[in-house]
Structure 1
Amino acid sequence: MDNITAGIVADLGFEPEMDRLRDYLGDWIARSNSELRPLLEWQFDAGSKYFRPLTVFGCHRARVGGEITDQTIRSAAVLEMMHNMTLVIDDILDQSDERRGKPTMHAEFGMLPALMASGFIVADGFTMSAEDPHDIRLFADLVKRLGVAECAQWRLRRQPLGVADWEEIAGEDTGSMFETCACLGTRDEALRRFGRLLGMLYHGCDDVGDVKGLESLGGGGEEDLRDGILTLPAALAIEKESICDLFCKDDPSDEELALISREMRDRLPDAEAHLDQIASDAAWEARTNSDNPEVLLTLIQHTRELSRR
């Protein structure tokens, strides 16, 4: 397990549940078609962060209480599968040859196998959930929202947008994934807004971490800057008109990219302050809508620390 989540798992006492999750995914891979099994083994390795399944478990404990059921383990496993589908697609879109120091699936096995594997992952996820209409509805909605969010984010590249626009993008990209985590864990809508805010917080901490040069949580700082993606630091940096003009250019030079990057670093204190507000809003949701908010407050605290390492 990635050390990003190991401390949270220990704090919350979810080691047995994480073992069950890994066993579930391992059994699925072992039973999968031999043509794609090496790709799945490559993608679902021991370095996964499992932050999203952890959120499923945390929301279950905060709202429902009691044992983490086999049903919830399955839901968390399928959610992790959907997440990995997005990683495969993102790596292809970003032309990334590595993720966390390891070759990406398309770099190791080729573009066509990677694309086919991403579809295989989603199809098997729906098959696993076939007898659970609640989960099927959530996963179908998630996949559609993620597709719309990715297209919108790409369409809105190099545009003179602001922090409110970033919030909308982050809320539909990472936020929709964490909303789904919350609803899977509680099997109702009570913590949906908490999940959205936690996802936005995670997304923003990733943005800030990329600018600081920290180990990426899932994005790609250099690729985002090159492609004109609206990250939180970029949204703040382009409040300066001269930087906005450079950001909106179709093909900025290396020198111009360096100027944008410098302004983004200068605006990091403002980005951190904005993340503090999102964390505060998430904490309010946790206290208001759960009987055991401490587990959710721990998730918020650990998420918030991701950009401060």
Structure 2
Amino acid sequence: MDTITANIVSDLGFEKEMDRLRKVLDEWIAGTSDEMQPLFDWQFVAGSKYFRPLTIFGCFQATHGDVPIPDTMIRSAAVLEMMHNMTLVVDDILDHSDARRGKATLHARFGMLPALMASGYIVADGFAMSAQDPHDIRLFAALLRRLGVAECAQWRLRRQPLGVSDWEEIAGEDTGSMFETCACLATRDEKLRQFGRLIGMLYHGCDDVGDVQGLESLGGGGEEDLRDGILTLPAALAIQNRDICEIFCKDEPSAADLEAIKEEMLRRLPDAEEHLDGLARDAKWEAQIHTEHPRVLEALIDYTRELSKR
């Protein structure tokens, strides 16, 4: 497990649940095709952060107190982690990324065709593992539809003179939808859906800020986003400067153009941090009004908020 995540797992007492999650994933990989096993061994490395399953466990505990987390919830978390890894494989291909957190990406290690086929295999097995739970099936199906739309929209809107509200819409569908699903898997209703959206947006924004600062704690792709004109939170603030906006909207910005954008994003980081603080406050409010045991969710929010500062 990623050492950054280990502290919060220990603080919240979820070590056993994480071990159970890892066992489910290991057993799944062992039962896959011999052709695919090397790819999954590579992709589902033990150093994963597992922050999305951690959110599922946190939401369950916040609504159920000390009730032990059932095996069915561990399975749901494993499938969610599988779906998340599918998106990482596709994102790395789209971004032409050869490495993620210092390790070769799946397509860089095994080739484009195997990586694409592996992503489809992951989704197929995820649905198969959830076959006896229509509630989970509906959530995963809705999630994949939303992620597909969000990725297309984010690509279509690149290099556009958009604002922070546009970034919120993109982040809410791109990352927020994944964390909404975490919350709904845990509670099996809608009570924490808005909490999930907010903590997902917070995570997305901390990733954006961490990228500008050169941090690797969240594993994002700051250089790729800058190159491709993706609307990150710092970029949305930076292009409020008219000169920077003109550069940002260029079809083929030069190296000097990209450096100018980055310098303005660095200058606007305090504003980005302030915006993230607001999202954190809103997420805590959702946790407090919808759960009887909000402490675990408040801790998750504080932990997420700190990621952009490490």
How high is the TM-score relative to the length of structure 2?
0.99
CA distance in 2, matches of 1:264, 1:30: 45
Runs of 5+ consecutive residues of structure 2 not aligned to the other structure: none
Structure 1 position 64, deviation (Å): 2.2
Secondary structure of the corresponding residue to residue 125 of structure 2: helix
Q: Deviations over 1:250-280 (max 9, x none)?
A: 0000001100000000000000000000000
Q: Deviations over 1:212-250 (max 9, x none)?
A: 011151320000000000000000000000000000000
Structure 1 position 3, deviation (Å): 1.6
Partner of 1:19: 19
Map 1:11-90 → 2, pairs under 5 A: 11-65=11-65, 66-90=67-91
**Kept after mapping to 1: 8 A contact 2:42/2:106:** yes
Structure 1 segments, 4+ long, off by >2 Å, are none
Partner of 1:205: 206
CA distance in 1, matches of 2:289, 2:301: 15
Map 1:76-155 → 2, pairs under 5 A: 76-155=77-156
**Kept after mapping to 1: 8 A contact 2:178/2:200:** yes
CA distance in 2, matches of 1:150, 1:215: 22
Map 1:255-274 → 2, pairs under 5 A: 255-274=256-275
Decide whether aligned partners of structure 1 residues 113 and 44 sit closer, same or farther in structure 2, where only a CA change above 3 A counts: same
> What is the percent sequence identity of the aligned residues?
75
**Kept after mapping to 2: 8 A contact 1:210/1:216:** no
Secondary structure of the corresponding residue to residue 176 of structure 2: helix
**Kept after mapping to 1: 8 A contact 2:143/2:177:** yes
**Kept after mapping to 2: 8 A contact 1:175/1:199:** yes
Comparing 58-67 and 262-271, the one that deviates more: 58-67
CA distance in 1, matches of 2:293, 2:200: 20
Secondary structure of the corresponding residue to residue 224 of structure 2: helix
Q: Which residue identity is paired with 1:290?
A: T
Structure 1 position 306, deviation (Å): 0.2
How high is the TM-score relative to the length of structure 1?
0.99
Secondary structure of the corresponding residue to residue 250 of structure 1: coil
Secondary structure of the corresponding residue to residue 49 of structure 2: coil
Aligned residues: 309
CA distance in 2, matches of 1:150, 1:217: 19
Runs of 5+ consecutive residues of structure 1 not aligned to the other structure: none
**Kept after mapping to 2: 8 A contact 1:175/1:195:** yes
Q: What's the RMSD between the two structures over aligned residues?
A: 0.5
Secondary structure of the corresponding residue to residue 229 of structure 1: coil
